[in-house]
Amino acid sequence: MTLADLPVPVQGWRGWQSRLIASRKFQKWAAAFPLTRRLVRREGEALFDLLAGFCHSQILMALVTLDIPAMLLEADCDAPTLARRCHVPPERMEVLLRAAVALKVLKAKRAGRYGLSRRGAALVGVPGLSQMIRHHDVLYRDLADPVAFFRGEVETELADFWPYVFGGGMAPEVAATYSDLMAQSQILVAEDTLRAVDFGAITTLLDVGGGSGAFLEAVGAAHHGIALRLFDLPQVAPSAKARFVRAGLAARATLVSGSFRDGPLPEGADAISLVRVLYDHSDATVIDLLTKCFAALPAGGRLIISEPMSGGDAPERAGDAYFALYTMAMRTGKARSAAQITQMCRDAGFEAICAPKSRRPFVTSCVTARKPFS
């Protein structure tokens, strides 16, 4: 052991404050003192929520897997009826429903019936949310031993759920699952990106890693003068054709199959979008991709990046306590801050880089950049 291995005592006001709050004697006093007991209760409840968080997520998983919110969207129902429909013992169904009421997903009604709360109704209506919750059983298994997970000792399953990040082939049924989940989850991402970024001056948009075309469909509906080009793996890109036909965009949309790992990006677009792409990949892959974007764009061409991001110097829950773990379980990517992405864009040669304020960071954040005119 060296001096560098020894713990450094926390000094100053913050150190004194932490030691005071950690004191059991102080905790007992603060819980009884009128001016501090409300704060003590609030902090205690927050700690308990952290402790019980896994149970809460499993309650949500059970509700969605059993399709209970969708049933209650049609009509309020009592526990015995739901128990029969879901093949769950009545007494256990009652526990599940009461737990959902406590979490404000359901509401207890008269005569022993249950209905949706506002939060529960949103759960049914948010595009892709139920599908994301259902597939979280994979992530939960990866996190079953969190210490082993953070030590890098777990061969995570989530990487196999998203095989495209390794650049390899996919069976048709895997590609279909991937495309559907990506399409559903990108609806909200597209809405927030279109609010944050001005697409008005773009004539041709190349969406790299565009999946089944959900993002381009939203762009095409909002901006009728933009030509749409989608670039993705051969197993994925064709799934966008039917979407563009249904949306009346077939005449404006072009599909290009390929992998950005294997060669240059198609040229001819004055803007490139990377929607939920960078956080799937390592720094080396991202740097290579940004360099290819720079090469494919004309002078003055724009780059649009949209994905959940880390809070950087101010860690926040969505980016740093969820997406950071999710991408770690995928084994190839990471949640990056807007500042980190900005620097990577700058290193690739881009300028005029900005990060517009995100309305819902748990949905997405954006970074835009421009290729110099000369």
Is residue 99 scored above 50 in pLDDT?
yes
Q: Give the pLDDT confidence of 101-116 residue by residue, as tens digits.
A: 999 999 999 999 999 9
Of all residues in the chain, the percent with pLDDT exceeding 70 is: 91
Confidence of residue 3 (pLDDT cuts 50, 70, 90): very low
Q: Which residues pair with 370 in a beta bridge?
A: 302, 351
What is the average per-residue pLDDT within 59-69? 97
Residue 31: band (very low, low, confident or very high) from pLDDT cuts 50, 70, 90:
confident
- Exposed, middle or buried by CB within 10 Å (0-12, 13-18, 19+), for 308? buried
How confident is the model at residue 87, as a pLDDT? 97
Tell me the mean pLDDT in the region 69-73. 96
In the chain, the domains with their CATH numbers are 12-125 (1.10.10.10), 162-370 (3.40.50.150)
- The 10s digit of each residue's pLDDT in 317-369 is 999 999 999 999 988 889 999 999 999 999 999 999 999 998 899 999 999 99
What distances in angstroms separate CA 362 from CA 189, 286, 315, 321, 323, one per listed residue? Answer: 10, 22, 13, 11, 9
pLDDT of residue 142: 95
d(C-alpha 84, C-alpha 89), whole Å: 8
* Residue predicted with more confidence, 54 or 237: 54
Average of pLDDT values for 149-173? Answer: 72
pLDDT in tens, 121-142: 999 988 788 888 988 899 999 9
In the prediction, which pLDDT does 250 show? 94
Asked if pLDDT for residue 173 goes beyond 60, the answer is no
More confident residue, 64 or 132: 64
**pLDDT value for 4:** 53
* Beta pairing, strands 271-275 & 204-208: parallel
pLDDT at 178 > cutoff 70: no
- Is the confidence at residue 280, as pLDDT, over 80? yes
Mean pLDDT within 63-75: 96
Q: Specify the pLDDT at position 22.
A: 78
> With 80 as the cut, is the pLDDT of residue 177 above it?
no
Spatial strand order in the sheet of 351-354:
253-257, 227-232, 204-208, 271-275, 302-307, 365-370, 351-354
Provide the pLDDT confidence category of residue 14 given band limits of 50, 70 and 90.
confident
pLDDT at 221: 96
pLDDT digits (tens, 9 = 90+) for 311-325: 999 999 999 999 999
Q: Regarding predicted confidence, which is higher, 39 or 16?
A: 39
Average pLDDT, the chain: 89
Cβ pair 10, 18 in contact under 8 A:
yes
Mean pLDDT across the stretch 163-168? 52
Place of tokens 């059993």: 66
